[in-house]
Amino acid sequence: EDQVTQSPEALRLQEGESSSLNCSYTVSGLRGLFWYRQDPGKGPEFLFTLYSAGEEKEKERLKATLTKKESFLHITAPKPEDSATYLCAVQARAGGTSYGKLTFGQGTILTVHP
Amino acid sequence: GAGVSQTPSNKVTEKGKYVELRCDPISGHTALYWYRQSLGQGPEFLIYFQGTGAADDSGLPNDRFFAVRPEGSVSTLKIQRTERGDSAVYLCASSPAGGPGELFFGEGSRLTVL
C-alpha cells in the first residue's frame, strides 16, 4: 500500500526565516510526486510535479527536491502570504494504478509571522 | 474565472438521507476526479472519470457511494443512506487529460451528517 508521511505537522516561522518541509513516501514504483498548497476553505492548488530522484523545481520562494525515499519543500525568506497547508502526494506506477489516483499525506500547516 | 465549480458549498443532512453533490469541471477538461477530505487529513481518492466512463472507482468506500458523468462534463456524486462518518469535504478536480500532472480543484462541498 502506498504511504505518504509529512513532517512536521505544523511549523511556525518568522518572516524571512528559511526552512524545509519533509515528505517521506513508500510507493510501488513512483510515477510522480506532487506538491500542492491549500488555503483554509479552498481546494488544493498545484505547485510542482517531480518525476525522478535528483530532480528539482523552483517557483518564487519555493524549491522542491526529490530523492528515492523523500521530497523536501524548501522555503526561502518566507512571507506571511506563504502561510497555508502544504500537501505532498504520490502517484504509483505499478499494479495498474490509474492516472487518477493520488495518495496524499496529511499536510504541514505553515504559519509565517510578520 | 472558469474554474471548477461545486454545489452546494455546504450541505447539512440527517442520518439515513440521500445526498447529491454536483461538480462542473473546467470547460474542455476530459478527466474528472472526486476526492474526500476529513478535518486535519489530506484528500482521499474516491473515483476518476475519463470522458463519460469511470476509469477507476477503487476509492469508493462502499456501495452507498456512486458517481456519474453522463455527458462527459458535469458529474454528480451520490450518497445513499448517509452515515455520520460520511461527514467531510468532498473535493472535485479536473484536468485536460488523464495523466500525472496538475489537477485543478474546486473549493469543495462540505457535507455534515447529523
Q: In sequence order, what DSSP letters do the residues of A40-87 get, joined into one string?
A: TTS--EEEEEE-STT-EEEETTEEEEE-SSEEEEEE-S--GGG-EEEE
Closest partner residue to A104 (CB to CB) among B40, B43, B101 is B43
**Nearest CA distance, A30 vs chain B (angstrom):** 11
pLDDT digits (tens, 9 = 90+) for B46-55: 999 988 988 8
> Testing the interface with A: which of B26, B35, B39, B90 to mutate, by most A Cβ within 10 A?
B35
Q: What is the mean pLDDT of residues B79-105?
A: 90
Question: What type of residue sits at position A65?
Answer: T
Question: Which residues of B sit within 8 Å Cβ distance of A?
Answer: 4, 31, 33, 40-45, 47-50, 55-56, 58-59, 91, 93, 98-108
Q: What is the pLDDT of residue B1?
A: 55
What is d(CA B72, CA B41) in angstroms, rounded to the nearest whole number? 30
Q: What is the pLDDT of residue B97?
A: 75
**For residue A10, pLDDT beyond 70:** yes
Question: Three-state DSSP class for B35?
Answer: strand
Q: What is the mean pLDDT of residues A32-45?
A: 96
Q: What is the pLDDT of residue A99?
A: 66
pLDDT digits (tens, 9 = 90+) for A75-93: 999 999 999 999 999 998 7
* CB-CB contact of B108 with A56 (8 Å): no
What percentage of residues in chain A have a pLDDT greater than 90? 84
